Structure 1
Amino acid sequence: MSGAGPRPAPAAAGPEGLAALAGALRAHPSIRGKRAIAAATAELGLGAASAGQPGDDAAVLPRPGGGYDLLAGEGFIPAFVADDPWFAGWCGVMVNLSDIAAMGGRAVALIDQVWAPSAEAAAPMMAGLRAAAEAYGVPVVGGHTNYAGRELSLAVSVFGRAEALISGAAARPGETLIAAVDLRGAYRPSFDNFCAALDVAPERLRADLALLPELAEAGLVRAGKDISQGGIAGTALMLAECSGAGIDIDLDALVLPGGTDPERWLRSFPSFGFLLTARPQDAAAVCARFAARDISATVIGTVTPGSAVTFRSGGAAALFWDHAATPYLGLAPKEPSHA
């Protein structure tokens, strides 16, 4: 656990400080790294209207009889895997299940793709995969293994199902933006990964993720994304662009782990974190569902018309990103979103 309890974010130091914060995040590799998606989708000829809903946390395939099949996958940079192979294996499961939950779904099964110089070199990574699969109750049912690789490499894919969708392309102007994050954890020694999933009862992990499909099926949430690489700032930008909207983020409303720098928190990758939008009249009910499980959930902003993601603090405002002027994923809809 972190050494101090959650606290509100301190106000940025005036307009200059807010602009500096926005500029630092715009330039950070965790934010800019997602722009590779734009190149990949262009090379594959994919757009916002393509099959599977590119830009969402999982590919969406409607089932003929109703509901949706969901497919997602995650690959990990070699430096992350080499730094902590066991945790990389755990993350291979955890982040995929988060993607399925972010879509309002429940995970069914996982497959892994592993490269390593030997079985011995792969053992810690495989142990992490196994531990997480057992903790979350989702089996690894197959995959691809190569023990003649030059270095440890890992990718994991997941299959899930949803009855009601939460989509990263469905935010509408006038809706409130809610950040739901489990703050009962601490940063890992390297990188900006905030983990609240280790040394936790499996029942808690499973029930926490179940909140997302429950919210979708109750009609309380229909738009959102899990907070991934790029943190709150980058995830809000992806949500805004894919929805054809803007987002105002009230930095003064953020709740941070004790002792955390706001800039770091805005780019951090929490083990359990989601940005969700809801009708203003539903926001309290959404936050209450998370609070009942001791998960922080706070209204931190508003979906707006336009294409600007803007930071606000202490009466000042600073543009973080305008996705119409500078596309991010390149997956904006042809028509802007309307309330």
Structure 2
Amino acid sequence: MTENILGINALTLEEMAGRLRSHPSIRSKLGIASATKALGLTALSDGRPGDDAAALPCDGGYDLLAGEGFIPAFIEDDPWFAGWCAVMVNLSDIAAMGGRSTAVIDQVWAPSAKAAAPLLQGLCDASAAYGVPLVGGHTNLSAQTLGLAASVFGKAQRLITSFDAAPGDLLIAAIDRRGNYRNFDNFCAALDAPDGRLRGDLMLLPALAEDALILAGKDISQGGLIGTALMLAECSSVGIDINLSEINPPNGIEVERWLRSFPSFGFLLSVAPENAQAVCTRFATRGIDARAIGRITDGSAVTFRSGADSAVFWDHAQTPYLDLGANHA
């Protein structure tokens, strides 16, 4: 058994797939299925659960609604950054749908105003940086511990969805690599970036949608690149082959960690081959690495490939993930 240029052979490929399958950031998404079942939601419900934001037709376009809640350990570890991320990740969800964010509301729980202060400052700082206003929310200063959630409203003319990846498309990863890990596996490229760059980078996605260069994709979420690829595959009822030789982590970061990392700016896009160069060029002009890392296939398996070797990471037909694919509606 020989190793390829990544130092990965068939055995280590299977082992890596197994470690990623069992990682908490990947498995945390499994809770979505039980929640949507309890609410009686399917992929055919209003707003199409499974997408990064709920899209509601309005005046020839779409109103977009999204929200995020935060893990208590994340808030406790770095409350200011949690406040910042509450804005940042919501804006990414709207951009991932081909939209432009218009307003954010927050929900904060804390034992006191003093304890809440860093959370609120992070919210304010990110709102100012991205130019999207905070317009209210909910505050409780009688809670035993810190808690945080936020919601965002946006608009789109044409959608990028989780349900339209098609066999034959290329899977493009567009990730800003100009950053560092802030905590856990959260890779932040936003805090040192000029405000204008942050705003302009997010505008790439609606422009690509409106130019009909992208129909399908997702924001890379807490499940990392590989968990997000699985969600995209399941929602679109397709398979995805990922070529590990095309994964491009920043210097010093192992491929396995990069596959599960949550980048501050990162999107997986399903793109017709004839549009791939144009899409990658748009990101490259803004200093963002964008490259084809795999291909959309028939079937239901998300598969790693490395040289002549391959390993199935997850087969969503055998083991549903979000359980919100078109075939599960």
TM range (shorter): over 0.9
- The CA deviation at 1:11 is 2.0
Structural RMSD (CA): 1.2
1:91 equivalent to 2:80? Answer no
Q: Do the aligned partners of 1:12 and 1:18 also contact (CA within 8 Å) in 2?
A: no
**CA shift digits 1:178-217 (9 cap, x unpaired):** 00000000011x3100000002211000000000000000
Match of 1:58? 53
Give the secondary-structure state (helix, strand or coil) at the position aligned to 1:303. Answer: strand
| 1:12 to partner: Cα distance | 4.8
Q: Deviations over 1:235-272 (max 9, x none)?
A: 00000000011100001101111100111110000000
Q: How does 1:124-143 map to 2 (within 5 A)?
A: 124-143=118-137
Q: CA contact under 8 A between 2:177 and 2:289: conserved in structure 1?
A: yes
Q: Deviations over 1:135-186 (max 9, x none)?
A: 0000000100001110110000000000010001110111000000000000
Post-superposition offset of 1:34:
0.1
Corresponding residue number in structure 2 for 1:3: none
What do residues 290-309 of structure 1 show as CA deviations (whole Å, max 9, x unaligned)? Answer: 00000000100000011000
Displacement of 1:332 = 1.3
Residue by residue over 1:102-153, the C-alpha shift from the partner in whole angstroms, topping out at 9 and shown as x without a partner, is: 0000000000000000000010111000000000000000100001110110
The residue number in structure 2 matching 1:4 is none
Question: 1:306 corresponds to which letter in structure 2?
Answer: G
Query: Is residue 49 from structure 1 mapped to residue 82 from structure 2 by the alignment?
Result: no
Are 1:240 and 1:309, in contact at CA under 8 Å, matched by a contact in 2? Answer: yes
- The residue type equivalent to 1:58 in the other structure is A
Measure, in 2, the Cα distance between the counterparts of 1:86 and 1:201: 19
1:262 aligns with 2:255: yes
**Structure 2 letter corresponding to 1:51:** D
The answer to whether the aligner puts 1:285 opposite 2:285 as a matched pair is: no
Q: Which amino acid aligns with 1:227?
A: I
Gaps of 5+ in 1: 1-8
The residue number in structure 2 matching 1:196 is: 189
Indicate conservation of the 8 Å contact 2:51/2:161, yes or no: yes
- Range that drifts further, 11-20 or 104-113: 11-20
Q: Residue 77 of structure 1 is aligned with which of 71, 77, 90?
A: 71
Question: Against the structure 1 CA distance between its residues 164 and 120, is the aligned structure 2 distance closer, same or farther, given a 3 Å change threshold?
Answer: same
1:81 partner SS:
helix
Q: Is the 8 A contact 1:229 1:268 kept in 2?
A: yes
- SS of 2:229 mapped into structure 1: helix
Percent identity between the aligned chains? 65
1:216 is matched with 209
Correspondence for 1:11: 6
Q: Which runs of 4+ in 1 moved over 6 A?
A: none
Contact 1:227 1:273 in 2 (8 A): yes
Deviation at 1:48, TM superposition (A): 1.0
**Structure 2 residue aligned with 1:21, among 12, 16, 21?**
16
1:31 to 16, 26, 31: 26
Aligned residues: 326
Residues 219-258 of structure 1 aligned to structure 2 (within 5 Å): 219-258=212-251
Q: State the match for 1:107 in structure 2.
A: 101
SS at match of 1:199: coil
Q: Is the 8 A contact 2:32 2:322 kept in 1?
A: yes
Say whether the 8 Å CA contact 1:114–1:146 is kept in structure 2: yes
Aligned-partner Cα distance in 1 for 2:268–2:51: 13
Q: In structure 1, how many angstroms separate the alpha carbons of the residues matched to 2:319 and 2:192?
A: 42
Letter in structure 2 aligned against 1:11: L
Residue number in structure 1 paired with 2:325: 332
Deviation sequence 1:61-120 (CA, Å, 0-9, x none)? 011x20000000000011100100000000000000000000000000000000000000
TM-score (norm 2): 0.98
Paired residues of 2:304 and 2:313 also in contact (CA < 8 A): yes
Aligned to 2:160: 166
The question of whether the paired residues in 2 share the 8 Å contact of 1:12 and 1:314 is answered with: no
- SS of 2:206 mapped into structure 1: helix
Structure 2 alignment gaps of length 5 or more? none
Please state how far the C-alpha of 1:10 moved relative to its aligned partner.
5.8
Q: Residue 43 of structure 2 contacts residue 328 of structure 2 at CA under 8 Å; is this kept in 1?
A: no
Letter in 1 for 2:180: A
Deviation at 1:334, TM superposition (A): 2.4
Show the counterpart of 1:323. Answer: 316
2:144 corresponds to: 150
The SS at the match of 1:334 is helix
For residue 148 of structure 1, give the secondary structure of its aligned residue in structure 2.
Answer: coil
- Determine if the alignment matches structure 1 residue 119 to structure 2 residue 134: no
CA separation of 1:150/1:10 partners in 2, compared to 1, >3 Å: closer, same or farther? farther
2:269 aligns to what? 276
Aligned position for 1:310? 303
Does the residue aligned with 2:86 lie in a helix, a strand or coil? Answer: helix
Q: Quote how far apart the aligned CAs of 1:13 are.
A: 1.8
2:290 corresponds to: 297
